[in-house]
Amino acid sequence: MSIHGKRVAWVTGGGSGIGEAGAEALAADGWTVVVSGRRKDALDAVVARITNNGGKAEAIPLDVSIADDVNKAAQRIVAQHGRIDLLVNSAGINVTKRSWADMELEGWNRLVEINLNGVLYCMRAVLPAMRSQQDGCIINVASWAGRHVSKMPGPAYTTTKHAVLALTHSFNMDECVNGLRACCLSPGEVATPILKLRPVVPSEQEQARMLQSEDLGRTIAFVANMPPRVCVNEILISPTWNRGFIQTPASRD
């Protein structure tokens, strides 16, 4: 990381959920954090909370599916701070109509634009600065659905998260020679606002047993604070009370 001690992190999807928790955990560890997302009010609230606790943070409103805007955001960060040490790709969505029976092409395309293309756009946008530094870390927030196919998340979400996993490993194959490394962070169920989009919203009791945003925030900080010689290629993390296991009937063979 920076020889001058300043470490700059860019967190997309930083206005809520995992991105918000990651931004707060990084700021608590002394990182200068730039949060991006589509809702300026949510970003401002995160920045205020971080700065009120003595951290350094700022906001850049952004839709990651617009490549030109992504490039401008990365250039703005470099112009202001001189570097980007960490990218956390946490922006992601799902839709209510997510099964083969009711899925719509508009929903599929939007998921691909944000969950996959947006990740790629941000990774490409930080590459010039990271290659110049010969140092940099990227954390792509995928999903348990990126490792294990199941019906509940739907084909579009599952497909995009599998693709993010492949994209992450491909990045490491090419960019390790430049001192860069990427981690695919694949959590099981997390109690975040995206749960409200599910056809059946989990109960409060069920959500209390899930991973919490702060659990992923701590995980993001753990990866980010590893020395440059360490590449944490992939983390698969789930609640102990894993409903994907519990709802799977035991074999009778």
The SS3 assignment for 58 reads: strand
Catalytic residue chosen out of the listed positions 24, 157, 164, 211: 157
Inter-CA distances, 197 with 59, 96, 161, 226, Å:
26, 5, 17, 35
* 53, burial (CB in 10 Å: exposed 0-12, middle 13-18, buried 19+): exposed
Q: Please indicate whether residue 121 is annotated as part of the active site.
A: no
H or E element that contains 217: helix 213-224
Q: Classify residue 8 by burial, with Cβ atoms within 10 Å: 0-12, 13-18, 19+.
A: buried
Catalytic residues: 157
